[in-house]
Amino acid sequence: MLKIQNYINGELVSPVSNTYLDNYNPSKGEVYSLIPDSENTDVEKAYNAAADAFNGWASTPKEERSRILLKLADLIDENHEELAKAEATDNGKPLFLAKMVDIPRASANIRFFATAVIHNPSESYHMEEGYTNYVLKQPIGVVGCISPWNLPLYLFTWKIAPAIASGNCVVAKPSEVTPYTAYLFSKLCIEAGLPKGVLNIVHGLGTSAGDAIVSHKNIKAISFTGGTATGRIIAKKCAEEFKKVSLELGGKNPNIIFDDCDFDKMLKTTLQSSFANQGQICLCGSRIFIQEGIYEKFKTAFIEKLKSHKVGNPFDTETKMGALVSKDHLEKVLSYVALAKEEGGKILFGGNRLTIEGFENGYYMEPTVIEGLPFNCRTNQEEIFGPVVTLIPFKTEGEVLSYANSTPYGLSATVWTQDVSKAQRMAKNLDAGIVWINCWLVRDLRTPFGGVKQSGVGREGGFRALNFFTEPKNVCLKY
C-alpha cells in the first residue's frame, strides 16, 4: 500500500515513530494509503531544517526565489492529470472539478506570488526637518501553514507560496483527511530545485502534529485555514507567544435573491453555490433568502434542476457531486438534516445517504433542500458544510439584511438583483469579507480574502499575504 512520507530537509522521510494512519478513499469507503502519524519530534526536525535554511533563502535574490517558484508552478501544470486524479481519489470530489478548479488554482497561486514578490512596493516618508524614513519588508523566519481538506492543494499552496516567496522557511501541515496531493507536491518541490529546508511538510493529526507547529516557541507566525473551533484554540495559543496569526475560518453564507434578478443566471449559479464540491466550500451559500414574489417559482425551478444533478463516482464524467470527504463528516451532515426535521423543517428534496452501485461503501449523500425554518434556528445559524441548503422567504431589504447578518459568521454573501443602488446598499451593509453581486466564487487573486466576526482574523490575497509574511521595519535617517 502507498505510504505517504514527510518532506523534511529536502528529503522524503518516515515519521520518527514509524507509525502511520489510515487514509481513506471516500468514494469507496476504503483505506488506500497510509500517512505519517507525526509528532513533536518530526516537527522539531522540520523546524531545524527550516531554521538552517533561513539565512540562505532570505538572502537569495527575490528574482531567483521567483524563478524556482515559477518552475514549481510549471511542474504542477505538467502533472495536472495525475494531481487531479489524486485529489478526486483523496477527497471524493468530481474529477472534472479537480481538473477545472483545484489544480489550475494551485499553479496559479504559486505563479501569482512568484511574480507579486518582485513587484511588492515598499514605502518611504520624507520629513522637511532633514530626516527620511524608509520601510524594509523583512521575512519573519520560520513560519507555520496549516490547511483543511476541502480544497487540499489549492489552499495549501495559497499559504505556502506567499510565505516562501517573501523569503521565509515553512513548516506546513495539510489536513490528515486529504494528504495525498501535498505529498505529490513535495516531490515536485524536489524536482523544481527548491533548496532543502525551505519547505517542510509534516503529515499527521491536528492535535499532535498541528499543535506541535502552533506551540513551537520559534515558529513565529501561523497561517491557518479551517474550522472556527480550531481557529479559537490556535488564536489562544498564538496569543500566549504573541505570534502573528492569520485565521480563515468557517462560514454560513447568505445567498440573497431579489425578485428583480436575472432569474436564469441566478438559478444556474445558485445550483453551483449550493452544491459545488458537495457543498464543502467555505464560500457556499447555504442559506438561500428569496423575495416573496418569486419564492414559489424559484422553489419549483430549483428542485426541477436537482432531479438531474447526478451524484456518483467522482471519475464518471456525468457526475456533478461526488462523495463527502469522510464517514464522520457524512454523519455530521446527516445529523443536521435530522436536526432540521426536529426544528420543524420540511425536506423538499434529498435528505438521505445514497448507495451508488459498485461504490456501496462510499460516503454519498443527496443534495438536500429544506424549507419552513426560522432564520434563527440552529440549522440556520451553524455551519453544516455539506450539500444542504435552506430556503427562507423575505419581503423587504431591511428584513433580509437582519436575517443575513444574524449568524456569528461573516465570510461571504451573494446578492442577486438588477437594481444597482439596492445591490450597493446591500454590499455596504452585509457582515461579510466578500460580497458577490450577480456572480459567485469569482476571484481576482489581488483582492483581499477573509471574513469578519467568527469567520476569521486578517486577510489573505495579493500584497496583503506578502505583508503578513514580512515584518515592516522603519529606518529613519538624518541627512
Q: According to CB under 6 A, which one of 26, 92, 94, 250 is a site residue for ligand NAD?
A: 250
Least distance between ligand NAD and beta carbon 202 (Å): 10
Which cell goes with 282? 467555505
**Nearest to 391, CA basis, from 297, 260, 468, 276:** 297
102 is a site residue for ligand NAD (CB under 6 A): no
Using the minimum distance from each CB to ligand NAD, give the nearer residue, 65 or 329.
329
Using the minimum distance from each CB to ligand NAD, give the nearer residue, 351 or 410.
410
290 is a site residue for ligand NAD (CB under 6 A): no
- Residue 87 identity: E
- Looking at the DSSP assignment, which residues form a beta bridge with residue 456? 248
122 is a site residue for ligand NAD (CB under 6 A): no
Closest residue to ligand NAD using C-beta atoms: 206
Q: According to CB under 6 A, which one of 27, 66, 157, 225 is a site residue for ligand NAD?
A: 225
With contacts defined by CB under 6 A, name the span among 21-29, 70-78, 96-104, 226-234 that binds ligand NAD. Answer: 226-234
Which cell goes with 182? 501535498
440 is a site residue for ligand NAD (CB under 6 A): no
**Nearest to 219, CA basis, from 146, 305, 311, 304:** 146
207 is a site residue for ligand NAD (CB under 6 A): yes
Cβ(198)–Cβ(50) under 8 Å? Answer: yes
In the block, which residue shows the cell 480550531?
230
With contacts defined by CB under 6 A, name the span among 56-64, 129-137, 145-153, 306-314 that binds ligand NAD. Answer: 145-153
233 is a site residue for ligand NAD (CB under 6 A): yes
Note if 64 is an active site residue: no
Using the minimum distance from each CB to ligand NAD, give the nearer residue, 191 or 331.
331
- Residue 440 identity: W
Q: According to CB under 6 A, which one of 37, 39, 42, 211 is a site residue for ligand NAD?
A: 211
Which cell goes with 86? 489524486
Cα distance between residue 440 and residue 285, in whole Å: 9
Cα distance between residue 254 and residue 270, in whole Å: 11
DSSP 24-81: EETTTTEEEEEEE---HHHHHHHHHHHHHHHHHHHTS-HHHHHHHHHHHHHHHHHTHH
Cα distance between residue 23 and residue 27, in whole Å: 12
With contacts defined by CB under 6 A, name the span among 109-117, 195-203, 229-237, 393-401 that binds ligand NAD. Answer: 229-237
CA 349 to chain centre: 28
**Nearest to 255, CA basis, from 239, 229, 279:** 279
Which cell goes with 150? 476541502
Least distance between ligand NAD and beta carbon 248 (Å): 3
282 is a site residue for ligand NAD (CB under 6 A): yes
Q: According to CB under 6 A, which one of 34, 43, 75, 146 is a site residue for ligand NAD?
A: 146
Cβ(72)–Cβ(192) under 8 Å? Answer: yes
The count of chain residues that interact with ligand NAD, using the rule CB under 6 A, is: 30
Which cell goes with 162? 506567499
Using the minimum distance from each CB to ligand NAD, give the nearer residue, 366 or 383.
383
Note if 123 is an active site residue: no
Q: According to CB under 6 A, which one of 94, 139, 141, 148 is a site residue for ligand NAD?
A: 148
Element (H, E) at 257: strand 254-257
Of 169, 282, 284, 383, the active-site residue reads 282
Helices 397-404 and 420-429 pack at an angle, to 10 degrees, of 30
Q: According to CB under 6 A, which one of 20, 54, 113, 149 is a site residue for ligand NAD?
A: 149
Of 39, 87, 248, 383, the active-site residue reads 248
Q: Which residues within the stretch 162-181 sit at the binding site for ligand NAD (CB under 6 A)?
A: 173, 175-176
Q: State the sign of the Cα–Cα–Cα–Cα dihedral 92, 98, 103, 109.
A: negative
434 is a site residue for ligand NAD (CB under 6 A): no
Strand extents, DSSP E, 49-130: 124-127
411 is a site residue for ligand NAD (CB under 6 A): yes
234 is a site residue for ligand NAD (CB under 6 A): yes
Q: Going by C-beta distance under 8 Å and a sequence separation of 6 or more, which residues neighbour residue 419?
A: 258, 260
Binding site for ligand NAD (CB under 6 A): 146-150, 155, 173, 175-176, 206-207, 210-211, 214, 225-227, 230, 233-234, 248-251, 282, 383, 385, 411, 451, 456
Give the residue numbers annotated as catalytic, written as ranges: 248, 282
